[in-house]
Amino acid sequence: MEPLLIYLGLFGTSFLAATLVPAQSEAVLFALLMTGSCPAWLLLLAPSVGNIMGSCVNWLLGVGFTRFEEQRWFPRPVLGLGVPSPADAIFPLT
């Protein structure tokens, strides 16, 4: 298989695994490491970058959804019987 396609596939799998999509990037990485067809450092670099970029996408989604906080349908966590959350000091629900 073409090495570039291997790295792109591993990057894509790890990117999806780091976002909201359930994917098994570890299984793909393990299988590729066992074949020994590519350098291990490149096989570790591709999913590392994919995971970091997927985490950035999750963060951007979270920041983008904060504009809906004032909407009535937006879910808010309830921690119990009127006990304030530690985040209430930072993000008051007034």
Question: Tens digits of per-residue pLDDT, 55-81?
Answer: 999 999 888 888 887 777 777 665 555
What pLDDT digit, counting tens, does each position of 8-45 carry? 999 999 999 998 888 888 888 899 899 988 899 999 99
Phi-psi region of 77 (alpha: psi -120 to 50; beta: other; left: phi over 0): beta
CA separation for the pair 87, 94 (Å, rounded): 13
pTM over 0.85: no
Positive or negative CA dihedral for 85, 87, 89, 94? negative
User: What tokens appear for 3 in the block?
Assistant: 């090495």
DSSP states of 27-62: HHHHHHHHHT-S-HHHHHHHHHHHHHHHHHHHHHHH
Count Cα neighbours of 40 within 13 Å in the Cβ-side half-sphere.
Answer: 4
